Structure 1
Amino acid sequence: MINRLLALAGLLCLTVVGKADIPAWVSRVDLGRADWMIIAAILVLFMVFPGVMLFYGGLVRRKNVLSIILQAAAVVSMTTLMWVLIGYALSFGTSHMPTDAVIGNITDTFLFHLHQNLSEHHSVKLAFAIYQMGFAVIAPVLILGGVAERIKFKAVMVFIFFWELLVYYPVAHTVWGGGFLYHMGVLDYAGGLVVHVSSGVAALVAACLLGKRCLGQVKEVEPHNRVFVVIGIGILWIGWFGFNGGGSENFHILGVAILNTQLAAISAILFKLFLDHLVRRRVTVIGTSAAAISGLVAITPAAGFVGVFGAILIGLISSAICHFAVRWRHSLGYDDALDAFGLHGVAGLVGAMLVGVFISARLGGAGYPPGLTVNKQLWVQFLAALLVAAWSAFWTFVILSVMKRCFSIRVEKADELAGLDISQHGEVGYIDD
């Protein structure tokens, strides 16, 4: 068993697994694919511990580095327990009732039916549940980028608890778990809609409701540690191969998904480098890192569906659009502190729409599902993106509005100026000798 795992890890530590169609093919897979799913789950979780923590931690000011890391750790801990308790059942369960169009059931709480049955069928399903857990915990962590440096720790925990229940689980079921968008033929290979659009839009709404940060005498916030940002991006990039590779049902599609992930990221970076050199006459680490994220996010809904040509263009287009989305944040007046919406929300929307174009067999893609043409597929993609964004925005607004009536969700001005590390947690990330 150990030798087999080492051999599998040597092949890039990726996985072969389907998403919402698990019941249709799971009996034909062997335990080797379950091994892959576990490895992919580890890669996805590694994106948070320590990928997102380093990325977000480097982007905030030094007086807030511990707060964003602690928030991420607490969110992962809570949402992991929620997933095991009820999240998997609500996302991928079936009740054979009209509610199946939007949500699953609660019959498989604590994953009892999976971990108590030692058959090959249930072993693979258990691995699938663990793999999907990675998506369920990383989505709410991304929201933290929109509210960084000013939200109370307690408010984060309460908000994410209800957001996970009311937004993530219904969206995951609707798109992947056999809900109405799944049956309409929506294409979302690895979470462009489910993870990035839902969390990006939530970050935008939350940022608007919280208001801008108190910057004091500072006119513009600068990342306190660009090295952390680069290391975080590197970890996220490697983890993304497991993130996107998990949607493959055979090794050919797996190779396509991994290659497309790499191509979209590097094409986004190259375009950003060219654009910055053309306009500003200099290139930056932060701009390049943001471009990499935009390319990786945009290819997520399309990784296994499009060809090489499509992946490159998706990376280029997402890099251009996200470049302006991030710049427009300042002119539009909202304070999305770490550009969670400008990168994840916008790039997720771009990728979700472009997959409807580049899936065409004429452009090297896998071809449209039976009964769908480019116009019909684009309509389905647009409708799905609109509904997911609206659903996330509505419930984010409702949850935070109710919370604001019950208790203060934002730290006091003096505490914010002092930094959340010391005011919320009584410690600092750096000690000056």
Structure 2
Amino acid sequence: MDLPIFWLLITAALVLFMTPGLAFFYGGLVRAKSVVSMMMLSFGAIGLVGVLWMLFGANMAFVDGTDSDWIPEVLGNPFSDFGLNDAAKAAFANEGGGALAGIIFGSTFAIITVALISGAIADRARFFPWMLFAGLFATLVYFPVASWVFSFVVDDDGAATFTGWVGQLGSHLGLDASTIDFAGGTAVHINAGAAALALALVLGKRVGFSKELSKPHNVPLVLIGAAILWFGWFGFNGGAATTNDQAALIFVNTLVCPAAGILGWIITEHFKNGKATSIGAASGAVTGLVAITPACANLTPVWAIVLGLVAGAVCALAVELKFKLGFDDSLDVVGIHLVAGFIGTLYLGFFAIDTGLFTGGGNLDQLIVQVIPAFAIAAYSFVMAFVIGTVINKTIGFRVHEDEEAAGIDTALHGESGYALD
């Protein structure tokens, strides 16, 4: 049974709710004097990216070429239906509301991908340079990458054919497998994680960068944010389901993988530090959610549990690398989203139902078509984000002054305080 259009609309609302949830999650992790600034980076992304997507982003993210050329169409025409005028008229006439449902669903992915990046530059980024970066990154990176990964056409029989180069990669290489990225392991998490690493390098370390500086100011706020993210993630992963059976499998995996992620993280944390923390549990849940994103429709629950355990444990260790390697990824976007995004995407090459190396008869095809897009998108996102961030930093300045940073940037940037106690 095909799911109706309102399924997309309901799940789009769930995914949009994730970005305020991300604001809570990030807001609780920073200092008390930076919580407003941190949350504004997410809400700013909602405002700007939401508008850009409706004006031209949705058009850029759709390509209709299905030829077998080695240089396939990689970008839609941003002016093909500028401002969705034609799509709105079709919906008004009851002749195409499904297109708008897909567009609104896609907009929420664009918004949260950009918002995720902001966690890497917490406590030191100016608001309007961030907004400039958000607009340029969405236009030059996310919208094209979305066309590579998510763009598809539907034939008269209702069958979908992916039209971006990632979707066509297997056929171009003459392989028996196609790239699997059901909900955005590459387009969302690897994309955002690579950009976060680039921006962290551009802006440099916070004043007094240390483990002490990284302590959250409001643990309950972090847990509330993680809960909202998990709730919304059922829409994030399940919105693109085409049948009730597929949606059920996705929902099972979206529960069990992050649950295992919690266990993987807190067990690792216990053996490493002697204590399991609530921040670790929340981070483990998010790690499991990231890892299952590309794989939610293509794993059995047992392999989803293993994925969550592995991702939770690995990311619990990966978040410490910033102190050893000397880059200041404030809220561990790299250690969670980039690392878990890679784990979930590549894991499919081994354990995808019927096509993985260990679940599909020892065929390497699935692994090959998972590796190439993961590294290609990471490289493209990193380079573009580094260039965009550097240009902004060298021209109008991206980072606040050191005295403002030390004092707390909420009052300096927004004239507000997160906690007015007098």
User: One fold, TM greater than 0.5?
Assistant: yes
Instruction: Please say if 1:73 is aligned against 2:66.
Output: no
Instruction: Please say if 1:302 is aligned against 2:273.
Output: no
The residue type equivalent to 2:16 in the other structure is: L
The within-5 A match list for 1:275-424 is: 275-361=268-354, 374-424=363-413
Q: Cα offset for 1:276?
A: 2.5
Q: Cα offset for 1:155?
A: 1.0
2:174 matched residue in structure 1: none
Q: Cα offset for 1:104?
A: 1.1
The residue type equivalent to 1:315 in the other structure is: G
Deviations 1:4-58 (CA, angstroms, capped at 9, x unpaired): xxxxxxxxxxxx9xxxxxxxxxxxx6xx611111100000001112x01110110
Instruction: Please say if 1:137 is aligned against 2:137.
Output: no
Q: Which of residues 72, 81, 84 is equivalent to 1:108?
A: 81
- Contact 1:33–1:124 under 8 Å retained in 2: no
Q: Cα offset for 1:215?
A: 3.0
Q: Aligned partners of 2:350 and 2:378: how far apart in 1? A: 21
Distance 1:380 1:362, change over 3 A: closer
- Contact 1:95–1:104 under 8 Å retained in 2: no
Q: Cα offset for 1:64?
A: 0.3
Q: Aligned partners of 1:273 and 1:405: how far apart in 2? A: 41
- Contact 2:116–2:333 under 8 Å retained in 1: yes
Instruction: Please say if 1:190 is aligned against 2:199.
Output: no
Q: Aligned partners of 1:404 and 1:39: how far apart in 2? A: 39
Q: Which of residues 36, 41, 45 is equivalent to 2:16?
A: 45
Q: Aligned partners of 1:54 and 1:310: how far apart in 2? A: 31
Deviations 1:115-165 (CA, angstroms, capped at 9, x unpaired): 211366611121111111110100000000001110111110111111001
Q: Which of residues 63, 68, 86 is equivalent to 2:56?
A: 86
The residue type equivalent to 1:141 in the other structure is: A
The residue type equivalent to 1:235 in the other structure is: I
- Larger helix share, 1 or 2: 1
Distance 1:38 1:216, change over 3 A: closer
Runs of 5+ consecutive residues of structure 2 not aligned to the other structure: 152-162, 170-177
The residue type equivalent to 2:382 in the other structure is: A
Q: Cα offset for 1:218?
A: 8.9
What is the TM-score with the length of structure 1 in the denominator? 0.87
Q: Cα offset for 1:229?
A: 0.3
Which range moved further: 250-259 or 279-288?
279-288
What is the TM-score with the length of structure 2 in the denominator? 0.90
Q: Cα offset for 1:431?
A: 2.0
The residue type equivalent to 1:199 in the other structure is: A
2:6 matched residue in structure 1: 35
1:25 matched residue in structure 2: none
SS at match of 1:214: coil
Q: Aligned partners of 2:125 and 2:363: how far apart in 1? A: 43
Q: Cα offset for 1:95?
A: 7.0
Q: Cα offset for 1:77?
A: 0.4
After the TM superposition, list the runs of 4 or more consecutive aligned residues in structure 1 that deviate by more than 4 angstroms: 95-100, 216-219, 362-365
Identity value in percent: 36
1:7 matched residue in structure 2: none
Calculate the aligned-residue CA RMSD, in Å: 2.3
Q: Aligned partners of 1:404 and 1:193: how far apart in 2? A: 27
Q: Which of residues 152, 164, 167 is equivalent to 1:179?
A: 164
Deviations 1:166-193 (CA, angstroms, capped at 9, x unpaired): 1101111011112111111221010111
Deviations 1:196-241 (CA, angstroms, capped at 9, x unpaired): 1101110011001110001389943310100000011101001000
Distance 1:330 1:258, change over 3 A: same
Q: Cα offset for 1:273?
A: 2.5
Distance 1:252 1:133, change over 3 A: same
SS at match of 2:90: coil
Q: Cα offset for 1:68?
A: 1.1
Q: Which of residues 101, 118, 131 is equivalent to 1:127?
A: 101
Instruction: Please say if 1:158 is aligned against 2:124.
Output: no
Q: Aligned partners of 1:309 and 1:67: how far apart in 2? A: 41
1:266 matched residue in structure 2: 259
Q: Aligned partners of 2:56 and 2:66: how far apart in 1? A: 18
Q: Cα offset for 1:423?
A: 1.1
Distance 1:258 1:141, change over 3 A: same
Distance 1:386 1:217, change over 3 A: closer
Q: Aligned partners of 2:271 and 2:73: how far apart in 1? A: 49
